[in-house]
Structure 1
Amino acid sequence: MIKARVTVTLKNGVLDPQGKAIEGALGALGFDGVGHVRQGKVFDVELEGADKAKAESDLKAMCEKLLANTVIENYNIFVD
């Protein structure tokens, strides 16, 4: 079994209102010095019966088709 983590984040230049809200809330909670917050998504995926190369290929296809909106988001794949 192959375990992987896919991290999806907004591309630079794309407005991130949720990140801005988190940034403001952290300041209101007394966490000084927080300059910039961007939010994202993390997917932990287990693939059975695949080798590392096939897993990476399949995960890329999953990101391109479902997990990420590639117009406004970037993704990174980490395979254990």
Structure 2
Amino acid sequence: MRARVTVMLKEGVLDPQGEAIRHALGVLGFRGVEAVRQGKVIELDLAPGNARADAEAEVARMCEALLANTVIERWQVEFV
């Protein structure tokens, strides 16, 4: 089973990397990009045999403990 975790800054938190990307796109001639939010994607290959509910709970614990800074970031899990 594979879990894909997407971590993004919460709304209202400044995103200097996203702003740098937005600016660079403008310099390269791409118009119409008003805002960019930059984040990260983490894919976890989980051991087979775990029940889906158990896997969801375990990945949530991973996100809270290490994968996301829950003060400034939000996370979302998708099983693929």
- The number of residues matched between the two structures is 79
For residue 5 of structure 1, what is the aligned residue in structure 2?
4
Runs of 4+ with deviation above 2 angstroms: none
TM-score, normalization by structure 1: 0.95
The equivalent residue for 1:72 is: 72
Gap runs ≥5 in structure 2: none
TM-score, structure 2 length as denominator? 0.95
Q: Report the aligned-residue RMSD.
A: 0.7
Summarize deviations over 1:26-50 as a string: whole Å, max 9, x none.
0101111111100001001110032
Report percent identity of matched pairs: 58
> Post-superposition shift, 1:52?
1.1
Letter in 2 for 1:35: E
